[in-house]
Amino acid sequence: MEIFFGILQFLLLALILVVLYRPLGDYMARIYTATTHLRVERLFYRLTGVAEDTEQSWRAYLRSVLWFSAMGVLLVYVLQRFQSVLPYSLGLPAVPEGLAFNTAVSFVTNTNWQSYSPELTLGYTVQLAGLAVQNFVSAAVGIAVAVALIRGFARKGSGTIGNFWVDLTRGTLRLLLPVALVSAVVLLAGGVIQNLNGFTEVTTLSGGTQTLPGGPVASQEAIKLLGTNGGGFFNTNSSHPFENPTAWTSFFQVVLMLMIPFSLPRTFGRMVGDKKQGYAIAAVMATFYVASLLILSGLELAGNGTATALAGGAMEGKEQRFGILGSTLFGTTSTLTSTGAVNSMHDSYTALGGMLPMLNMMLGEVAPGGVGSGLYGMLVLAIIAVFVAGLLVGRTPEYLGKKINPREIKLASLYILVVPVLILGGTALSFAIPALAESVTGTSIWNPGNHGLSEVLYAFTSAANNNGSAFAGLTANTPWLNTALGVAMLLGRFIPIALVLALAGSLAAQEKIPETAGTLRTHKPLFVGLLVGVTLIVTALTYFPVLTLGPLAEGLL
Amino acid sequence: MLVFTVALGVVYPLVVLGIGQLALPAQANGSTVTHNGAVLGSALIAQPFTSADGAPLATYFQPRPSAAGDGYDGGASTGSNYGPENTDLISAIEGRKAAIADFEQVDPATIPADALTASASGLDPHISEAYAMLQVPRVARERSLPESTVEDMVKSVLQQRDLGFLGEPSVNVLQLNLDLDATEG
């Protein structure tokens, strides 16, 4: 019976995403190709001194991304350091330096890793003026970079790839803000709170006392999911009843996470003038999504593991109103996008079940991935796939009429190497250097044995992929992990962005070559299959050895 | 950046705040439950039904185990984060199983999983229908009510799946206990 309802839940989700695909994808294409500016946008440009009709080269575009993001880190850092004097800080002190750095980087990079417990650390001003703002703009940056890459494919002999400031402003004002506003009201109606009440002490029915939290949660919640950010207002994120009160709000949050990433292939298809290319990319994303959801749901329903079997079901760290299948749907979505929100505790999943969120992130978050980052990640993999196909048949590889030259392949290869280096390097350092290992095994790790390794591996996977979810038993608020994870988030975000923009620049500069009989048809099922295979091989297999030491050992031995 | 901060960090949340406070004040303020004029909690947040020394009160339905603070602490939500092979978790579940079997006077094998496991938030306000039904005989006995009356009350607060298929059927413990108190008047 439970399975039957789970299938209905999935079918409704698929239906909603299919219905949204065209209108939302087309709308986003219009946003980024429109030649006119809204009045409010002109006001923004005047206030910030942006020349809105000037196009940028890829280098200038990248400089703008980096400059804007650096300002973001600085602002969020400063707000946290001066928390004690800000209004609505609930009497909380300034955030310590290491944690403030980690948190600032985390929200600017669209990761939303949280080394801290929000209720105990952050007041309302930092949450709103610091974190919520980054929830919007970091998402808008991701989409802007993806759009810049699409322009690289769409343009011929062009020295420019768009204007970052215009893309940023339009993405925020025409897409994210209106959808977030409507969604916030929907969540409010479902019971998500929005007040400035602080903590209230109440006397319970049986005469005890209880503290109830307040806060402007609904406004934060909507953009947290829509922008695939994932940073919860409360410690337990979307499992907290004030963030996610019912089964239908949980389902709605899943839709919010998926609607932009799954519709962006349409935007891509439309902007390169071949909608079938969009369908092919969406099909690859959907294949991974369905497979991952099925496996995780099966593993959690089976409920293997000593404690799980003893309790009679995998309900540790899950909420009754969502049940197992409402939890696995959310967990799969959150880790296949770059959201990292949780409505159940991944640390308490069954051993093999807990490996799935990790594998999802290790795929590079491309199915469908974060807003923007998912699409550009998948397009880089498509370039690799085209290259592999070219090698097999002995032809110069091309994609969408652009030659894949040594320069493009070098950029794409570097792209797929960055994240594994960060994950495996970070995890290895945590155990290999005695002083660090002492801190990691002594302070940070919560569960002993193989599961402890999984906690650290999960943390670096989450940080380098800008996901932000965690095996939350891990105490990450230590000097080593705050710093290492902060650096992993920064490099895991901006090196790939730099490579993607370089790729966009070099593609835009090329002329289109005409299609011939020998051109690989990149919208056919054959290519979809090839891309699925390439994605699996170049991403997930990299991690197989370390997975055998963590979740595989725990689950199979 | 400053312009975005004003628009997204100040104006946007205040607009949502305004809509919430004016149009949906009950939800926006945390779905609070009042009794005789005093706020005694939120319908969305589990609260303990224990005596001062922490023992469960036999006259009330009991919520799921909680890892939040000292239990059900709304200021410090958290799950246990124990992995499936963690010996602490295994002994905790064994302990809960024995305690509940003793408290409810039932066969340990009949206790459902939600009764033995800590929720994700530590504030899960619901229990499964099975766990509620398991508690009916004990509550009825302690309150000198017919079991059928208490059973009907469970059924009346039982929330079915949203839209008929989302999530799991669940029983709100605070709501059920309020109804119980109201019956005795």
A423-461 pLDDT, tens digit per residue, is 999 999 999 999 999 999 988 999 988 899 999 999 999
**What is the pLDDT at residue B52?**
85
Which amino acid, one-letter code, is at A243? E
Is the ipTM above a cut-off of 0.90?
A: yes
- A539: confidence class by pLDDT, cuts 50, 70, 90: confident
Residues of B in contact with A248 (CB under 8 A): 162-163, 166-167
Is residue A161 situated within a structural domain?
yes
Question: What is the arithmetic mean of pLDDT over B42-67?
Answer: 94
Lowest mean pLDDT across A10-24, A255-269, A482-496, B74-88 = B74-88
Tens digit of pLDDT for each residue in A244-299? 999 999 999 999 999 999 999 999 999 999 999 999 999 999 999 999 999 999 99
Whether A140 has its CB under 8 Å from any CB of chain B: the answer is: no
Which amino acid, one-letter code, is at A108? V
Same domain for A249 and A394? no
Is residue A543 situated within a structural domain?
yes
Are residues A136 and B8, on separate chains, in Cβ contact within 8 Å?
Answer: yes
**What is the pLDDT at residue B6?**
87
3-state secondary structure A485-551: HHHHHHHHHHHHHHHHHHHHHHHHHCCCCCCCCCCCCCCCHHHHHHHHHHHHHHCHHHHHHHHHHCH
Q: How many CA atoms lie within 13 A of A101 on its CB side?
A: 15
Burial (CB count within 10 angstroms: exposed 0-12, middle 13-18, buried 19+), residue A305 = buried
Same domain for A518 and A404? yes
Q: How many CA atoms lie within 13 A of A13 on its CB side?
A: 28
Are residues A188 and B24, on separate chains, in Cβ contact within 8 Å?
Answer: yes
Are residues B80 and A345, on separate chains, in Cβ contact within 8 Å?
Answer: yes
Which residue, A327, A377, A336, is CA-closest to A360?
Answer: A336
Query: Least CB-CB distance to A204: which of B47, B116, B181?
Result: B47
Percent of all residues in chain A with a pLDDT value above 90, rounded to a whole number: 87
A539's tokens: 């991403």
Residues of A in contact with B35 (CB under 8 A): 205
Same domain for A240 and A92? yes
Is residue A336 within 8 Å of residue A371, measured between CB atoms?
no
Which chain A residue shows the shortest CA-CA distance from B23? A189
Helix or strand or coil: residue A125?
helix
pLDDT of residue B184 exceeding 70, the answer is no
DSSP letters for A292-348: HHHHHHHHHHHT-SHHHHHHTSS-TT--TTTHHHHHHHHHHHHHHTT----SS-GGG
Are residues B84 and A349, on separate chains, in Cβ contact within 8 Å?
Answer: yes
What count of CB pairs under 8 Å joins A to B? 335
Residues of A in contact with B21 (CB under 8 A): 194-195
The set of residues, in sequence order, having a beta carbon less than 8 Å from that of B111 and lying 6+ positions away, is A312, B97, B100, B101, B131, B134
Whether A5 has its CB under 8 Å from any CB of chain B: the answer is: yes
Tens digit of pLDDT for each residue in A182-232? 999 999 999 999 999 999 999 999 989 999 999 999 999 999 999 999 999
The DSSP element (H or E) to which A211 belongs, if any, is strand A209-212
Same domain for A257 and A392? no
Is residue A221 within 8 Å of residue A227, measured between CB atoms?
no
Same domain for A390 and A261? no
Is residue A280 situated within a structural domain?
no
Which residue, A67, A78, A105, is CA-closest to A485?
Answer: A105
Is residue A250 within 8 Å of residue A343, measured between CB atoms?
yes
Which chain A residue shows the shortest CA-CA distance from B80? A317
Lowest mean pLDDT across A171-180, A254-263, A503-512, B49-58 = B49-58
DSSP B109: G
Q: How many CA atoms lie within 13 A of A271 on its CB side?
A: 26
DSSP B162: B
Are residues A172 and B4, on separate chains, in Cβ contact within 8 Å?
Answer: yes
Are residues B124 and A251, on separate chains, in Cβ contact within 8 Å?
Answer: no
B64's tokens: 């799921």
How far apart (Å, rounded) are the C-alpha atoms in residues A52 and A165? 8
Last residue of a domain, one of A224, A243, A269: A269
Is residue A131 situated within a structural domain?
yes
Residue B146, min C-alpha distance to chain A (Å): 22
Is residue A544 situated within a structural domain?
yes
How far apart (Å, rounded) are the C-alpha atoms in residues A214 and A199? 6
pLDDT of residue B185 exceeding 80, the answer is no
How far apart (Å, rounded) are the C-alpha atoms in residues B131 and A320? 11
Is residue A156 within 8 Å of residue A511, measured between CB atoms?
yes
Q: How many CB atoms lie within 10 A of CB A283?
A: 17
A415's tokens: 């792209």
Is residue A298 situated within a structural domain?
no
Which residue, A432, A305, A441, A248, is CA-closest to B161?
Answer: A248
Tens digit of pLDDT for each residue in A352-393? 999 999 999 999 889 999 999 999 999 999 999 999 999 988
Strands A402-403 and B32-35, bridge-based pairing: unpaired
A145's tokens: 């970079």
- B35: confidence class by pLDDT, cuts 50, 70, 90: confident
Is residue A309 situated within a structural domain?
no
Are residues B125 and A247, on separate chains, in Cβ contact within 8 Å?
Answer: no
Q: How many CA atoms lie within 13 A of A270 on its CB side?
A: 19
Query: Least CB-CB distance to A320: which of B28, B78, B127?
Result: B127
Percent of all residues in chain B with a pLDDT value above 90, rounded to a whole number: 84
Question: What is the arithmetic mean of pLDDT over A1-27?
Answer: 95
B20's tokens: 């919430």
Residue A328, min C-alpha distance to chain B (Å): 11
Whether A242 has its CB under 8 Å from any CB of chain B: the answer is: yes
* Residue-range definition of the domain harbouring residue A38: 2-201+211-269
Query: Least CB-CB distance to A316: which of B74, B78, B80?
Result: B80
A22's tokens: 């065209």
Same domain for A401 and A259? no
Is residue A290 situated within a structural domain?
no
CA dihedral A209, A210, A216, A221 (to 10 degrees): -170
**Bridge partners of residue A194, in order along the sequence:** A216
Which amino acid, one-letter code, is at A294? L
pLDDT of residue A10 exceeding 60, the answer is yes
pLDDT of residue A341 exceeding 90, the answer is yes
Measured between alpha carbons, how far apart are the two ends of chain B, in Å? Answer: 59
How far apart (Å, rounded) are the C-alpha atoms in residues B49 and A365? 44
Same domain for A532 and A402? yes
Query: Least CB-CB distance to A242: which of B30, B41, B57?
Result: B30
Q: How many CB atoms lie within 10 A of CB B9?
A: 26
Which chain A residue shows the shortest CA-CA distance from B7? A133
Report H helices in A82-209: 97-108, 118-121, 124-125, 133-154, 164-170, 177-190
DSSP letters for A2-30: HHHHHHHHHHHHHHHHHHHHHHHHHHHHH
DSSP A400: T
Query: Least CB-CB distance to B117: which of A68, A197, A315?
Result: A315
Residue B176, min C-alpha distance to chain A (Å): 12
Question: What is the arithmetic mean of pLDDT over A73-78?
Answer: 96
Question: What is the arithmetic mean of pLDDT over B152-177?
Answer: 95
Last residue of a domain, one of A222, A247, A269: A269
Residues of A in contact with B37 (CB under 8 A): none
To 10 degrees, what angle do helices A133-154 and A373-393 make? 30
The set of residues, in sequence order, having a beta carbon less than 8 Å from that of A127 and lying 6+ positions away, is A118, A215, A216, A220, A233
Which amino acid, one-letter code, is at A100? A
A46's tokens: 């005047």
pLDDT of residue A67 exceeding 80, the answer is yes
The sign of the dihedral angle between the CA atoms of A415, A421, A427, A433 is negative
**Bridge partners of residue B127, in order along the sequence:** B171
pLDDT of residue A239 exceeding 90, the answer is yes
**What is the pLDDT at residue A196?**
93
Is residue A76 within 8 Å of residue A127, measured between CB atoms?
no
Is residue B173 within 8 Å of residue B62, measured between CB atoms?
yes
- Count of domains in chain A? 2
Last residue of a domain, one of A236, A269, A302: A269
The DSSP element (H or E) to which A372 belongs, if any, is none
Average pLDDT, chain A: 94
How far apart (Å, rounded) are the C-alpha atoms in residues A293 and A281? 19
